[in-house]
Structure 1
Amino acid sequence: MAEALPLHDPEDPRLRDYTGLTDVQLRRRREPEEGLFIAEGEKVIRRALDAGYPMRSMLLTEKWLPVMRDVVEAADAPVHLVEPALAEQVTGYHVHRGALASMQRTPLPEVPEVLAGARRVAVFEDMVDHANLGAAFRNAAALGVDAVLLTPRCADPLYRRAVKVSMGAVFSVPYARLESWPADARLVRDAGFTLAALCLSERSITLDALVARQDPALALLFGSEGPGLTPGALAAADVHVRIPMDAGVDSLNVAATSAVVFYATRRPRT
């Protein structure tokens, strides 16, 4: 059982996991290399723990100690109690949620493992914006997507911004990272999935037409904001799909697109 111990020195090595959280390039390199990620806020910390991620340490301000008391008492990792000004000095921003936890990453499953038994998966190609990725994961969790596949250049779902926007949904949807793209599209197809690319092209069918086909297993492919899907991804897809638009609008934000598509292709509840 842990107890919250006050810390006062921003240079204290016990706070190293929390230093420079606003330095995106630094954190994108450090966190995977050191096998950690940061969970921010009470709900996200609890969801990370419920998902089985081990805690390395926790950083709390006095205000949040009563709220997190049960987590503190159950923790087998150090719990650091700091003043808000010190938390801001260490992290680089105002920690208004007052609670951070450094969590230990666990090994990612292999692609065949996440595809086994799945009937509807999302493939995110080169989605480098952490907010979009977090929102798309939240949509996937809310609308019953079985699994997510990430291309090699896709952002880290466990980066703090992605975790925060997803409200911890990145912990509840199984995901794996493809090693070679678009060559690894064959792994998806060989597992029995129809690869449907969301795009505007001359061969695109409507989303309603896709749903009417009743493909037994669907892999829904989304590109990055702006450029969209790469030519290689479009060539690898079995079918191109568009969402019909009104009022002169040609497309939606990728996160909004994922919500519409996930809802339209959801399986009926039994």
Structure 2
Amino acid sequence: MTEPILAVEGVGRKFGGFVALEGVTTAFLPGRVTSIIGPNGAGKSTFFNILSGVIEPSSGSIRFKGRDLTGTRQHAFVHLGIARSYQITTIFPELSAHENVRVAAQAGRSRYNIWTNRDRFGELSDRADAALDAVGLASKRWESARLLAHGQQRALEIAIALVSDPEVLLLDEPTAGMGPEETKEMVALLEKLAAQRTILLVEHKMKMILGLSDRILVLHHGRLIADGTPQDIQTDPEVRRVYLGQNDGYA
């Protein structure tokens, strides 16, 4: 039986007296696409932040390939093989697409020294080009990031995450703000990436989630209330009760 690549046990998080996440236990197998859904305030962002090392759990543990990462700093998550993108675009707008990705690659090699002459980092430049090619931005490598279309900027963020060659890629609403055509292009990219690594996804577009995911987790009031295939989730009575009356389905 395949061992989980990432697992949490009894994970909870409090912010003062507010319980954002409570007693979540689950594991993620390698090579699968898992979507995390739930109404606003369900605990999705908190859970994602714990899985990527942005915040520590107040209780419980997180393990990556059997190694306990509880209390480990975020930069160590990246070095170990866990990378993420964010809901809000986080790029350097005045740098080129290539420079954005190369800076990320260089940070993993020589942190706080981003102004070293690029000629000394031929390997990093090659890695940046490979990451841009993987997301379909090779032809835009020297274009200023601020001039890229919104969908291309989101793809650039994924390239920045990919340059560290992660085994687990966490994507926080990668299609946020996209129209139908850009969403279609992003789905095609995610399908391509899923053939090579484990992907965890927070998204609001249910049709996309159902078509892309191998598995879906449903959070509600900080608790995990359902875990199964897209078909399981669509027919789960508790999930249907939670979302009853919501126009857009799963938010």
Tell whether the structures are fold-level matches, with TM greater than 0.5.
no
Please report the TM-score for the alignment, with normalisation by the length of structure 1. Answer: 0.24
Q: Which has the higher strand share?
A: 2
Q: Which has the higher contact order (CA 8 A, sep 6+)?
A: 2
User: Which protein shows a greater Rg?
Assistant: 1
